[in-house]
Amino acid sequence: MPRSNGVKNETSAQELPAISDQDTVTIEEELEPVEDGQDIDDILNSLKTLLSSLEKLQKVRQEVGDIKPLIGRMLDGELISGEELEQLKAGVSSLSRLVRAYSDHQAALTKAQPARNLLDQVLKERKAN
């Protein structure tokens, strides 16, 4: 374990090198420009859109998932009770909403990819400091 010899290493303000405005770098200057000219607000909005589309997709998946056994029984040719038939009708109409929600989610996911690049870049800069 290193020992301290009791000597303090002090540097006077006169010995410190002068820092000019040219030497000062801000975070904005260190970051590379965001692809496709998107600014940070656009990226944040795309993340919000992605989150919203994911919530909708999960909700519709759950609705459709609840009728999956009924669809299986219908496809097997089984007779279904009246209440189950109403659930099945609602579920089948939910399938088109599922396809739409899936498509919207894929589009939002594609649009939000610049957010990943920016996040990687910001986190990389943060680790370097």
In the chain, what are the domain boundaries? 39-128
Distances in whole angstroms, Cα of residue 116 to Cα of each of 6, 32, 51, 124: 50, 14, 14, 12
What is the pLDDT confidence band of residue 129, given thresholds at 50, 70 and 90? low
- Residues 31-56 have a mean pLDDT of 79
Please give the torsion angle defined by the CA atoms of residues 41, 46, 48 and 53, in that order, rounded to the nearest 10 degrees. 170
Residue 69 CB coordination number (10 Å): 10
pTM greater than 0.75 (yes/no): no
| Spatial distance between the Cα atoms of 70 and 84, rounded to a whole number of angstroms | 7
| Alpha carbons 49 and 63: distance in angstroms, whole number | 21
Tell me the per-residue pLDDT of 3-40, one tens digit each, with 9 for 90 and over: 444 444 444 344 434 444 444 444 444 445 544 454 78
Better pLDDT: 93 or 16: 93
Q: Rg for the chain (alpha carbons), in Å?
A: 29
